[in-house]
Chains A and B, each alone.
Chain A
Amino acid sequence: MNRAVRAVGAVGAGTTGGGRSSRLALTALTALTVVAPRPAHAQDPHAGHHITHAPDSAATSAAAWRMPPMDMTMPMLPGMAELEPKATAWLPGAGIDPMSLPAAAYREVRIMSDGDTLDLTAGLVRRMINGRTLVMYGFNGQYPGPLIQAPQNATIIVRFRNDTALPTAVHWHGVRLDNRFDGVPHVTQDPVEPGGTFTYEVHFPDAGIYWYHPHHREDITQDLGLYGNMMVTAPDPAYYNPVNAEEVLMLDDLLIDDAGLFPYGEERATHALMGRFGNVFLVNGEADWRMEARTGDVVRFFLTNAANTRVFNLSFGGARAKVVASDVGRYEREAYVDNVVIAPAERYVVEVLFEEPGPIAITNRVQAIDHYRGVFVSKVDTLGIVDVLPERTTESHRQAFETLRANADVTAEIDRFREHFDRAVDHEVELGVEIGSLPLPILQMMLLDTLYFHPMEWSDAMPEMNYVATGADVRWFIRDVATGRENGDIDWRFDQGDVVKLRIRNRPVNLHPMHHPIHLHGQRFLVLERDGVRNTNFVWKDTAVIPLGSTVDLLVEMSNPGDWMLHCHISEHLETGMQLVFRVDPQPRTQ
């Protein structure tokens, strides 16, 4: 069993960039664009999509709004071409020569022991993505940030320094650590101002794969590369199955057009409706990620979705796979899967058997909605390539792969909570959105969209509408059904040790509602039921997606005292209000 994580960089020339986008095979514009008057400047329905007047690197001058990149088969809706978000266009490193910045390096693996210290600095880096020089952010000049590998129950010290232009902090996602170090500005700490520092003590009580990222304007800073993984290893060497290799992959996407990075909103997040989808897929920050394996190898992938909003539906080119773990540990029972559905901030641990030589594409395959034509459209994007060499594996782990392990210790631990499965709901919340002063064409299109709500938004089907919307127009909310309170006005209090049943209802009674990946800080939970159907194979989670129209019951173990956030992990939804803070008191209240 290979316990060491291989830091695999790009081992071959990129092959996925050019052919990545599967263009829709649609031929004609709808009658809509034929009969509707166009703005005088927009005789071409895509006028403005490709910027020619902008400098090669937007980082060398002030950012400016332009039409977002979008599928060129989509007609441009009348009345939308001139719209801009109610925010100042912003890009990092304005006025700085990108070549004066350090070129970012592929992440390093930091194997740490209890008591070790890591210096972690967030700052500007120069990146090359799809042939473009971009000014982005990085932790310690790396993409992703350093991969921290530490044993379960270790505590490490992280001396953080903020060399970016924005206040920030570092959130240790999924780690049930001391509340003081959760890294949430204005809740657990003051923001770390530019040039400021903060020292975190990160304790790892649970084995698994975790990640760290900012929790202040993460729609910008996380999107620009401030994220990294933490792999917490269990003392039991047989915690996972024997495999030939392990790969830790952070999945992401980035929005780029001819002028470079598409700007962000300085005062508030743009893309407030659906979140900011990217049009370039990244694996560990690379648009052309590759690895090699031998025929017969079993590779364990630790997957983290670091995208602002995209839910991935991954598959491994037909290679057999089984899912063994998720956010905070292993499943009760392993399961063979054809694909991995991973929402923002979720993690899955998947073992894949590569039985045949040749290139295996790791793809994202979804059925996107074409709202203009009223159809579902298959979209396939390649995230990376596994080159399976003809050489046979040196040590076959097929037998272990062919066995679906039942983890009795996981089940035994969950057994302690089964008495709570059928208890009454303690808190019920509704998820929704208020739409305000968006331009009339957008509201009209949203009315149309209201006719049908898809459970999941797999792609940005309305890019021009989406990018124009900001927190000045859109407010996402979590509403406590019992009190009517919303977001920050909700003031739940629990005792340490409480087990709480939380019902989340994502009601389809709004203009353009959407699914939401809900994340609880500092605690772990079980997804108990989905639309009244009891789960039969539990795993501890810290993030779970709530499809539109669905009701999901979570059973939360309030094990960790402090003030903790519950929020949607679509960055733009978080930035537009979809969050609350609950308190877990350290001592039980007197009866």
Chain B
Amino acid sequence: MTSLLPARSILAAALLLLAGSAPAPAGAVAASTNSGFCRAGPDPYEVRLVPTAHANGASGIVRLTFAESPYVVTVTAEGHHRYQAHLTTEGLGGRGGSLVAWATTPELDQVQKLGTLTADGDLPPAEITFNKFLVFVTQEDDAAVERWQGRILLRGISPSGRLHTMAGHGPFQGESCGGLFGPQW
């Protein structure tokens, strides 16, 4: 076969680009900067949490694995992925009240309480059954709260948050990928 893009070059370029990019919230990938658009190979199982103005300097990461089931891939009967969320945070110490983690759809019409962070700022593994979702951490007076009421400290969007309308970015924005996927890009 001819005209194949050199796979190793693509991989190397992608890795270099990734290595050279500062961590950014997943939701920021769609920004119109060239490097943002061309970030090939985003981790589909990681949600980076960034601080709001109420938690400057804090950060967090949610690692997603598939919930346990007889199958390699775990989904609900409706087809939503069943993820096991492993949330860790830094820089949230010294606050009063309880730090509670939540997941919600982008429309905020469904909310799942994931649980209360431990003193170490971690969350016991919790299940998320959305395909596209936000994860956020709030500061609550009462850990038993059923819907969030306190300040939002950290927030992030699932990797599927990169899924946007076709006209919103991509070739219609004319981004250059610096040859990442071949000379024409």
Interface residues of A, Cβ cutoff 8 Å to B: 30-32, 35, 311, 313, 315, 323, 326, 331, 335, 337-341, 348, 365-367, 369, 371-376, 378-379, 432, 434-437, 440, 443-445, 447-448, 450-456, 458, 471-473, 475, 477, 507-511, 515, 527, 530-533, 536-537, 539, 544-550, 552
Contact = CB atoms under 8 A, between A and B. Distances in A.
A524 to B, nearest CB: 16
> Which of B1, B84, B162, B164 counts the most A-chain CB atoms under 10 A from its CB?
B1
26 contacts: A339-B77, A365-B78, A366-B75, A367-B75, A367-B81, A376-B131, A376-B132, A379-B79, A434-B4, A434-B7, A445-B166, A445-B171, A447-B171, A448-B170, A450-B40, A453-B159, A455-B45, A471-B1, A472-B1, A507-B11, A509-B14, A509-B40, A511-B181, A531-B65, A533-B68, A549-B44
A64 B62 CA distance: 50
Given A437-B3, A451-B30, 17 more contacts: A35-B167, A339-B75, A348-B70, A367-B81, A367-B131, A443-B184, A445-B171, A447-B181, A451-B169, A472-B1, A475-B4, A508-B44, A509-B15, A510-B10, A510-B40, A515-B73, A550-B45
Nearest to A30: B167
B3 to A, nearest CB: 4
Interface of B: 1-5, 7, 10-11, 14-15, 29-30, 37, 40-45, 65-66, 68-81, 84, 131-132, 159-172, 177, 181, 184-185
Nearest to A448: B170
A366 B79 contact: yes
**Which of A35, A313, A371, A539 has its CB near the most chain B CB atoms (within 10 A)?**
A313
Contacts of B68: 533, 536
A547 B5 contact: no
Contacts of B80: 367
A35 B41 CA distance: 30
B41 A507 contact: yes
Residue picked from B7, B45, B70, most chain A C-beta under 10 Å: B70
Contacts of A341: 69, 71-75
Contacts of A544: 72
Contacts of B161: 452
Which residue of B11, B166, B170 has the most chain A CB atoms within 10 A of its CB atom? B166
Nearest to B18: A509
A335 B70 contact: yes
A364 B185 CA distance: 38
B66 A530 contact: yes
A527 B69 CA distance: 12
B131 A549 contact: no
A216 to B, nearest CB: 19
Nearest to A510: B10
Nearest to B160: A452
Given A313-B79, A451-B42, A532-B65, A369 B2 contact: no
Given A451-B37, A453-B42, A475-B4, A339 B70 contact: no
Contact of B172 (A32, A313, A348, A473): A32
